[in-house]
Amino acid sequence: MKEEIINKLLKLIKKAEQKNEVPVAAVLVKNNKIISSAYNKKNKTNNILMHAEILCILKCIKKMKNWRLDDCDLYVTLEPCDMCKNIIEEARIKNVFYFCEKTSKKISKTTYIHMNTKINKYINTRLKTFFESKRK
Give CA separation, 130 vs 14, 69, 119, in Å.
45, 22, 17
The answer to whether 7 and 34 have CB atoms below 8 angstroms apart is no
Out of 3, 4, 21, 53, pick the active-site residue: 53
- The answer to whether 99 and 52 have CB atoms below 8 angstroms apart is no
The question of whether 79 is a catalytic residue gets the answer no
No. of helices (H) and no. of strands (E), the chain:
5, 4
Phi, psi of 122 (to 5 degrees): -60, -50
As annotated, the active-site residues are 53
